[in-house]
Amino acid sequence: MPIYEYQCSGCGHTFEKLQSLQERTAFCPTCGKEARKVMSSSVGYVMKETAHGGDRGARDPGSCCGQSSPCENPKRCCTK
């Protein structure tokens, strides 16, 4: 998913938001008003780790977030 840069139309606060391509709007985390997308010099992407990630991941495949024991629900692990 790409990271977009927005500027609030109300208070002028500039922020970044990770969102899917289908999402069209964002709201300011400071004042809650609708923000407009601004042009950025670069675009960032977050790539999901695959099951066949090779040795790119430093974690043990049975552990989560550096824990020594396997997670009960690895799909929800590390998310807040």
What pTM value is reported for the model? 0.48
- Burial status of residue 7 (CB atoms within 10 A of its CB: 0-12, 13-18, 19 or more): middle
Sequence-distant (6+) residues with CB within 8 A of 74 are 64
Share of the chain above pLDDT 70, in %: 49
Q: Which domains does the chain have, with CATH numbers?
A: 2-45 (2.20.28)
What pLDDT is recorded for position 6?
Answer: 93
- Is the confidence at residue 59, as pLDDT, over 50? no
Length of the chain: 80
pLDDT tens string 14-36: 999 998 888 888 999 999 999 99
How far apart are the C-alpha atoms of 75 and 66, rounded to whole Å?
Answer: 15
pLDDT at 5: 92
Given a cut of 80, whether residue 47 has pLDDT beyond it is no
